[in-house]
Structure 1
């Protein structure tokens, strides 16, 4: 297996959207100095899920996406499964190393949801909800390094809702979607943004400039993601859906940064937002979905 094929199998650049989950959870839970390292666990679990996704979809991809690593013959199916299991085990071990048993109690069900989605729930009505649960738990994984995990419920809910809309709409990437699905996704995006704006402006634990930054980033998130979703409402073909899905993935850093800004985690904000140009550049050469 070549390095480039492995990178494509795990959707290497898409992992740039992951660290902000754990960091935003840690920021709101009062995470300790260990919190900066928790995204290593999140990224490994994310890559594991992507490899497992392609292993589970290998027969479907042979018909609909024959260019992917497994159906094209560049990565044998058993090697893909081994990669998925190895990365998953590595993610669990890393969470225990960084956060101890408390973090493992979050990462274990997170890994379970990843496997449940890829192998069982993906095509079911509950598929988007199961996928969204992985993002919510990822926020709580970061929060597990802090003293007040309950304080991270708001960013966890926001990430979960965004992922429901993103995953539901992405189901039309091959055959197209509908105007109704696009409008529902855009409405969810608007609700998540409004939740962020109102929450930021009312956040008495944050100084005014932190609140303003959080609100502005929430508005930016709505503009980037919502505009692409509304485009699907007028043109629900597969290509437009794929662009909206890409915009939804690229919207994660804006959403995460809005929560990080409210707690003054400017280094994390810079890192998360700085990943967006790299994600756009990488997505021109390799699919992130």
Structure 2
């Protein structure tokens, strides 16, 4: 009998805490918070879990050699079940997006789902793999922006995409290890993302109290992002073994949460930014039980 814990491990359930912030960052940038926003965040989570299940289905033969403890090669979850779950979660994600935002939301959710399936089933191990994953995260941000506001959300989408590109590139070596150059490049990318968001947050128009609050609210989670992700990547530079690379990849996934919080805060949505940031310690705690990678 299949245990629920195996399914939780299959979809990396706690790692989905890094997903709603994408939608909220898009909504904050596009000034499109509304009743549909929570449903769009749920749609994003469904598609994320679908991608995780599909990933393990596609990698079942490789995992049998490199990660035999994963749910499918260990026999805890059947391959057909994983594929069916991926399909069901994808359908749930698309249906939720359509119900929440109609055809216009579906116009973003459908390419997002196609990108996820394309990555897992064919593009992951190609040169286009990291860029494809980055595209998925960028589309996730645009999903929250709302129709007619996509252009305003492009900078936030590109920020999340750049971070994802670096983390995905690093993840390719988390099993075999690498030279110091790879984690050094990702550390430089993290520094660049931090500088870009900080520059955007401190670019004040009036210099008033409200702007000062916006800057402070944005820089606090940004500091958490730079510290948590940068420290793990620096450790990987010093010792680029699988152990430290896996830690750096995990930190990069969880580090999306404070980065999203910084993006939301930079638009003055302080309460929403605080809500996003509140998921960070919970996600880190849960990651000790279920690996996000």
- TM-score in terms of structure 2 length: 0.95
Counterpart of 1:125 (choices 124, 127, 138) is: 127
Q: For the aligned residues, what is the CA RMSD?
A: 1.4
Query: Contact 1:48 / 1:85 at 8 angstroms: preserved in 2?
Result: yes
Query: Size of the alignment, in residue pairs?
Result: 288
Match of 1:114 in 2: 116
- Tell me the CA shift for residue 38 of structure 1: 1.2
Match of 1:157 in 2: 158
Match of 1:225 in 2: 229
Counterpart of 2:51 (choices 49, 62, 69) is: 49
Query: Contact 1:215 / 1:258 at 8 angstroms: preserved in 2?
Result: yes
- Tell me the CA shift for residue 177 of structure 1: 2.0
Match of 2:144 in 1: 142
Classify 1:104/1:247 alpha carbon distance in 2 versus 1 (closer, same or farther; 3 Å).
Answer: same
CA offsets, 1:102-128, max 9 Å, x none?
110001010011011111111111111
Match of 1:281 in 2: 285
Structure 2: any 5+ residue segments left out of the alignment? none
Match of 1:260 in 2: 264
**Cα distance in 2, alignment partners of residues 240 and 8 from structure 1:** 21
**Cα distance in 2, alignment partners of residues 123 and 183 from structure 1:** 22
Counterpart of 2:82 (choices 62, 76, 80) is: 80
Secondary structure of residue in 1 paired with 2:127: coil
1:184 has 2:185 as partner: yes
- Tell me the CA shift for residue 32 of structure 1: 3.8
Query: Contact 2:170 / 2:249 at 8 angstroms: preserved in 1?
Result: yes
Query: Contact 1:11 / 1:288 at 8 angstroms: preserved in 2?
Result: yes
Query: Contact 1:194 / 1:218 at 8 angstroms: preserved in 2?
Result: no
1:95 has 2:97 as partner: yes
Secondary structure of residue in 1 paired with 2:126: coil
1:235 has 2:239 as partner: yes
**Cα distance in 2, alignment partners of residues 39 and 177 from structure 1:** 35
Moved over 4 A (4+): none
Match of 1:8 in 2: 9
Query: Contact 2:139 / 2:157 at 8 angstroms: preserved in 1?
Result: yes
Query: Contact 2:124 / 2:130 at 8 angstroms: preserved in 1?
Result: yes
Query: Contact 1:197 / 1:216 at 8 angstroms: preserved in 2?
Result: no
Of the structure 1 ranges 5-14 and 210-219, higher mean CA displacement relative to structure 2 is found in 210-219
Query: Contact 2:217 / 2:270 at 8 angstroms: preserved in 1?
Result: no
Query: Contact 1:20 / 1:268 at 8 angstroms: preserved in 2?
Result: no
Query: Contact 1:132 / 1:159 at 8 angstroms: preserved in 2?
Result: yes
- Tell me the CA shift for residue 203 of structure 1: 4.6
For 1:4-43, list aligned pairs within 5 A.
4-33=5-34, 34-43=36-45
Secondary structure of residue in 2 paired with 1:263: coil
- Tell me the CA shift for residue 178 of structure 1: 1.9
**Cα distance in 1, alignment partners of residues 157 and 215 from structure 2:** 18
**Cα distance in 2, alignment partners of residues 102 and 276 from structure 1:** 31
